[in-house]
Chain A
Amino acid sequence: MSAVLSVAGLHAGYGAGDILKGIDVSLDEGRVLTLIGPNGSGKSTLVKTLAGLLPARQGEVRLAGERVNELSPPKRVRRGLAYVPQEYNVFRNLTVLENLRIAHEFMGGGAGAPLPQEMAALFPELPSRYQTLAGNLSGGQRQMLAFACALTVRPKVLMLDEPSAGLSPLLTVEIFRTVKSVNAMGVSVLMVEQNAIEALRISDSCVVLAGGRVRLAAPAAEVLGMKDLQRLYLGDAQQANGPPAGRAAA
Chain B
Amino acid sequence: MLQTAFNGLVTGVIMTLPALAVTLLFGVLKFPNFAVGAMMTVAAYMVFALNGQLGWPLAAATGVVAVAFGGLCIAIDQLTFKPLRGRGGITLMVASLGLGFVLENIARFAYGNTARSFAIELARPFRFLDVRMNREQMITLALSALAMTLMWLLLTRTPVGRAMRAVADNPQLALVRGIDSERIIRWTWFITGILLAVGGVLIGMDRALEPPMGSNYVVGVFAAAILGGLGSALGAFAGAMIIGVVSELSTLVMPPNYRIGIPLAAIALILVFRPQGLFGQPYIRK
Contacts and interface: CB of A to CB of B under 8 A. Distances in A.
Contact of A91 (B159, B169, B175): B169
Contact of B173 (A82, A88, A105): A88
Nearest to B232: A93
B177 A77 contact: yes
A180 B130 CA distance: 71
Interface in B149-173: 159, 162-163, 165-166, 168-170, 172-173
Contact of A149 (B163, B168, B177, B281): B177
Nearest to A149: B177
Contacts of A93: 165, 168-169, 281
A108 B162 contact: no
B272 interface: no
Contacts of A94: 162, 165-166, 169
A239 B281 CA distance: 49
A77 B177 CA distance: 7
Interface string A75-95: 001100011010111111110
Contacts of B159: 101-102, 105-106
A53 B166 contact: no
A72 B175 contact: yes
Contacts of B166: 91, 94, 102
B178 A77 contact: yes
A107 B159 CA distance: 12
A52 interface: yes
A106 B176 CA distance: 10
A74 interface: yes
Interface in A183-231: none
A52 B173 CA distance: 12
A108 B165 contact: no
B87 interface: no
Contacts of B162: 94, 98, 101-102, 105
A82 B159 CA distance: 20
Contact of B176 (A85, A98, A101): A85
Given A88-B286, A93-B165, A93-B281, A103 B178 contact: yes
B281 A89 contact: no
Contacts of A92: 169-170, 281
Interface residues of A, number: 28
B172 to A, nearest CB: 6
* Best-buried of B166, B170, B178, B180 by chain A (most CB within 10 Å): B178
A52 B172 CA distance: 10
A48 to B, nearest CB: 9
B26 to A, nearest CB: 14
Contact of B178 (A90, A98, A107): A107
A83 B163 contact: no
A50 to B, nearest CB: 11
B67 interface: no
B169 A74 contact: no
Contacts of A74: 175-176, 178-180
B180 A72 contact: yes
A90 B176 CA distance: 11
A163 interface: no
B244 to A, nearest CB: 26
Contacts of B170: 88, 91-92
A89 B175 contact: no
A77 B176 contact: yes
A106 B178 contact: yes
B178 A85 contact: no
A37 interface: no
Interface string B171-195: 0111111111000000000000000
A83 B281 CA distance: 26
Contacts of B174: 91
Contact of A73 (B163, B169, B175): B175
B177 A78 contact: no
Interface in B241-286: 281, 286
B234 to A, nearest CB: 12
Given A74-B180, A77-B177, A106-B159, A53 B169 contact: no
A3 interface: no
A85 B176 CA distance: 9
A89 B173 contact: yes
Given A93-B169, A107-B177, 12 more contacts: A73-B175, A74-B179, A74-B180, A82-B176, A85-B173, A94-B166, A98-B162, A98-B165, A102-B159, A105-B163, A106-B177, A106-B178
Interface of B: 159, 162-163, 165-166, 168-170, 172-180, 281, 286
10 contacts: A72-B175, A78-B178, A85-B172, A85-B176, A87-B286, A91-B173, A92-B169, A94-B165, A101-B159, A102-B166
Listed from nearest, the 3 A-B pairs whose CB atoms lie closest are: A106-B178, A73-B175, A107-B178
